[in-house]
Amino acid sequence: MQETASALKSLEITVVAHDIGPVGGMEQQLSQLLTGLLAGGASVTVVSRTCTLEPHLRLRWVRVPGPARPFMFAYPWFLVVGSLLVRRHRRGLVHTTGAIVLNRADVCTVHFCHRGRRSVRLDRRSRRGALYSLNASSAVILARAGERLSYRQGRVRRLVAVSRGLAAELKRTYPALAERVVTIPNGVDAARFRPDPVRRHEVRAEIGVTESELLALFVGSEWERKGLAVALHAVGKVDGCSLAVVGAGDVLRYAALADDAGAQGRVHFLGVQPAPERFHAAADVFVLPSAYETFSLVAHEAAAAGVPLLATRVHGVDELLVDGENGWFVERDAQALAARLAHLRDNPEQRRSLGEAARASSERYGWGRMVDAYDRLYRELSEAA
């Protein structure tokens, strides 16, 4: 990191995001990036609603007051107020996370391409009901409008995609910016997410899963898009298989769905966890029958923990998963997923070898590599300014 430290010493970066913290893929990515920038000697101004980073002499936080929910009110509020605060407090290069302000940006990291997903129905509701549906529909309209405003020549110098698949999607959707799209994958903390036999026994005893059972793990919110219903129906078809669900969602609805699917008493809704790595260590297999992802940090964390992957062929995961080597690609179909779960239940030695390969495949995704890649991009843009 000595080269990075000297390179970042004179840099000033203004980072704009809704939230920066330990929960959520975007929030974690920013936390790791800013920690690396500060360690390397950069001066950072953060414009955001929340920021849980430790205080630092070269870190200045400008809080954006206002609501975090519902999106239909929170997004336009941040767009206006955040833009005014960036205009007033910006220093050096401006780095935004998505289309969230109206200011010109040097770098914009894209974690989700809203306009590129017209052919896929993405239900982002956390609950059923008219108001939740209205908020979800408004979110899609506002997010796409924000992209049209921000992703234009003269408004952004570089679009950073977090996977090659997302980069290709951005180039198709915004052809005028195709030459400005670069790919910088997120990272994973291999020291935090790792195989841990002691923790495995503790957590399984805590949630009531025996060593003889196959424990599948599902992590994330937006349960409709990520395919929790598919996972529940698959588990219902496989005797001796339980499912741990880490994340926020409509527990009452999905608990009823689990009962109807024949998985009664075998699904554990654990909510948002401050230490999800505990549950990765306890799992035998990670399931992600998702309709759309751009990187899937949780899949990379599962791989780092030595857990075989059963996932659909979505962006990011398609660069990590090697079919038959560290898991399998599956269709978004309960029967297909159930067949793989049953196979893994009956083949513990193969589970072990798949898990070891998954751990090895995650090693090329380090947070330090991500910080170094942004360092090179910042230097390039600074020299060209």
The one-letter amino acid code at 104 reads: R
Q: Is residue 211 part of a domain?
A: yes
Q: Are residues 380 and 355 in the same domain?
A: no
> Who contacts 156 (Cβ-Cβ below 8 Å, separation ≥6)?
104, 105, 106, 107, 108, 150, 177, 180
Q: Are residues 159 and 307 in the same domain?
A: no
Average pLDDT of the segment spanning 217-231:
96
From residue 360, alpha-carbon distances to 200, 317, 319 in Å are: 20, 15, 13
Average pLDDT of the segment spanning 361-367:
95
Q: Is residue 29 part of a domain?
A: yes
pLDDT of the residue at 143? 84
Residue 5 banded pLDDT, cuts 50, 70, 90:
very low
The total number of structural domains in the chain stands at 2
Q: Are residues 372 and 349 in the same domain?
A: no
Tell me how crowded residue 340 is: count the other CB atoms within 10 A of its CB.
Answer: 19
Would you say residue 229 has pLDDT above 80? Answer: yes
Q: Are residues 69 and 181 in the same domain?
A: yes
Q: Are residues 38 and 165 in the same domain?
A: yes
Picking from 14-28, 134-148, 286-300, 313-327, which range would have the lowest pLDDT averaged per residue?
A: 134-148
Name, of 16-30, 115-129, 150-164, the range with top average pLDDT. Answer: 150-164
Distance, in Å, from the CA atom of 148 to the CA atom of 75, rounded to the nearest integer, reads: 15
Residue 211 — φ and ψ, nearest 5°? -70, -25
Q: Are residues 202 and 68 in the same domain?
A: no
Q: Are residues 324 and 371 in the same domain?
A: no
If DSSP codes are grouped into helix, strand and coil, which group holds residue 168? helix
Boundaries of domain holding 352: 197-362
If DSSP codes are grouped into helix, strand and coil, which group holds residue 61? strand
> Who contacts 54 (Cβ-Cβ below 8 Å, separation ≥6)?
none
Q: Are residues 80 and 155 in the same domain?
A: yes
Q: Is residue 318 part of a domain?
A: yes
pLDDT of the residue at 3? 45
Average pLDDT of the segment spanning 138-144:
81
Q: Are residues 140 and 274 in the same domain?
A: no
Q: Are residues 169 and 64 in the same domain?
A: yes
Average pLDDT of the segment spanning 216-238:
97
Q: Are residues 256 and 317 in the same domain?
A: yes
pLDDT of the residue at 117? 62
CATH number at residue 297: 3.40.50.2000
In the chain, the percentage of residues whose pLDDT exceeds 90 is 83
pTM of the complete model: 0.90
Q: Are residues 140 and 201 in the same domain?
A: no
Q: Is residue 331 part of a domain?
A: yes
Q: Is residue 192 part of a domain?
A: no
Distance, in Å, from the CA atom of 5 to the CA atom of 41, rounded to the nearest integer, reads: 6
Rg (CA), the chain: 21
Picking from 136-140, 162-166, 200-204, 217-221, which range would have the lowest pLDDT averaged per residue?
A: 136-140
